[in-house]
Copies of this chain bind each other. A is one copy, B any other.
Amino acid sequence: MGKKILVIGGVACGPKAACRVKRLDPSVEVTIVEKGEEISYGACGLPFYLEGQVEDLTELTTTPVGVPRDVNFFKAVKGVDVRLNTEAIAIDRKSKKVRVKNVKDGTQEELAYDQLVIATGSSPVKPPIPGIDLEGIHCLKTMEDGARLKQAMESAPGKNAVIIGAGLIGMECLEPLLKAGFTCHVVEKLPFVLPALLDEEMAVPLMKHITSKGVILHCGDGVESFKDDGKGRVSKVITEQTEIDADLVLLAIGFRPNTQLAQDAGLEVGRMGIVTDAHMRTSDPDIYAGGDCVASFNIVSGSYMYAPMGSTANKHGRVIGNNLAGWESTFPGVCGTGVCSILGFNVARTGLTERDAKAQGLETVISLCPAPDKPHYMKGSKLIHMKMVAEGYTGRLLGVQILGPGEVLSRIDTAAAILKARGSVDDIFETDMAYAPPFSPAIDNLIVAANVIQNKMDGIINSYSPKEVKEKLDKGEDFVILDVRTPKELEQMKLPYENVVHIPLGMIRKKAQDLPKDKEIVCMCKISLRGYEAARMLEGAGFDPEKIRILDGGIVAWPYEKIVNM
Residue numbers in B under 8 Å from A443 (CB-CB) = 311, 314-315
Quote the shortest CB–CB distance from A508 to chain B (angstroms). 8
User: Would you call A485 an interface residue if the criterion is a C-beta within 8 Å of the partner chain's C-beta atoms?
Assistant: yes
Quote the shortest CB–CB distance from A385 to chain B (angstroms). 15
On chain A, which size bracket covers the interface?
Answer: 35 or more
Residue among A309, A341, A439 facing the most chain B CB atoms (10 A cut-off): A439
In the complex, per-residue mask of A309-341: 1 if CB is within 8 Å of any chain B CB, else 0: 111111100100000000100011011111111
User: Would you call A359 an interface residue if the criterion is a C-beta within 8 Å of the partner chain's C-beta atoms?
Assistant: no
Residue numbers in B under 8 Å from A431 (CB-CB) = 413, 416-417, 420
The reply to whether B505 and A311 form a contact with Cβ atoms under 8 Å apart is no
Contact of A414 among B378, B417, B486, B507 (CB under 8 A): B417
The reply to whether B434 and A420 form a contact with Cβ atoms under 8 Å apart is no
The reply to whether B421 and A417 form a contact with Cβ atoms under 8 Å apart is yes
Please, which residue of chain B has its CB at the minimum distance from the CB of A44? B437
Residue numbers in B under 8 Å from A429 (CB-CB) = 315, 318
User: Would you call A121 an interface residue if the criterion is a C-beta within 8 Å of the partner chain's C-beta atoms?
Assistant: no
Please, which residue of chain B has its CB at the minimum distance from the CB of A506? B76
The reply to whether B26 and A439 form a contact with Cβ atoms under 8 Å apart is no
Please, which residue of chain B has its CB at the minimum distance from the CB of A536? B23
Quote the shortest CB–CB distance from A300 to chain B (angstroms). 10
Quote the shortest CB–CB distance from A103 to chain B (angstroms). 27
User: Would you call A65 an interface residue if the criterion is a C-beta within 8 Å of the partner chain's C-beta atoms?
Assistant: yes
Which residues 351-380 of A have a CB within 8 angstroms of B?
372, 375-380
Residue numbers in B under 8 Å from A36 (CB-CB) = none
User: Would you call A469 an interface residue if the criterion is a C-beta within 8 Å of the partner chain's C-beta atoms?
Assistant: no
Please, which residue of chain B has its CB at the minimum distance from the CB of A380? B53
User: Would you call A412 an interface residue if the criterion is a C-beta within 8 Å of the partner chain's C-beta atoms?
Assistant: yes
Bound-state CA distance A241–B60 (Å) is 53
Please, which residue of chain B has its CB at the minimum distance from the CB of A48? B437
The reply to whether B505 and A334 form a contact with Cβ atoms under 8 Å apart is no
User: Would you call A228 an interface residue if the criterion is a C-beta within 8 Å of the partner chain's C-beta atoms?
Assistant: no
Please, which residue of chain B has its CB at the minimum distance from the CB of A535? B23
In the complex, per-residue mask of A476-514: 1 if CB is within 8 Å of any chain B CB, else 0: 000000000110110000000000000001111110000
In the complex, per-residue mask of A418-440: 1 if CB is within 8 Å of any chain B CB, else 0: 11110100010111111111111
The reply to whether B489 and A436 form a contact with Cβ atoms under 8 Å apart is no
Contact of A438 among B48, B433, B507 (CB under 8 A): B48
In the complex, per-residue mask of A63-88: 1 if CB is within 8 Å of any chain B CB, else 0: 01111000011001111000000000
Given contacts A318-B429, A414-B414, A420-B423, 15 further A-B contacts (CB under 8 A): A26-B541, A45-B377, A53-B380, A66-B488, A311-B435, A335-B432, A337-B434, A350-B432, A409-B410, A413-B431, A414-B416, A416-B432, A417-B427, A420-B430, A420-B431
For the complex of A and B, list the 3 residue pairs with the smallest distance between their C-beta atoms, beginning with the closest. Answer: A26-B540, A421-B421, A417-B417
Q: Could you pull out 12 A-B pairs where Cβ atoms are within 8 angstroms?
A: A26-B537, A26-B539, A42-B375, A44-B442, A54-B379, A309-B435, A310-B435, A314-B442, A331-B430, A350-B432, A409-B409, A410-B414
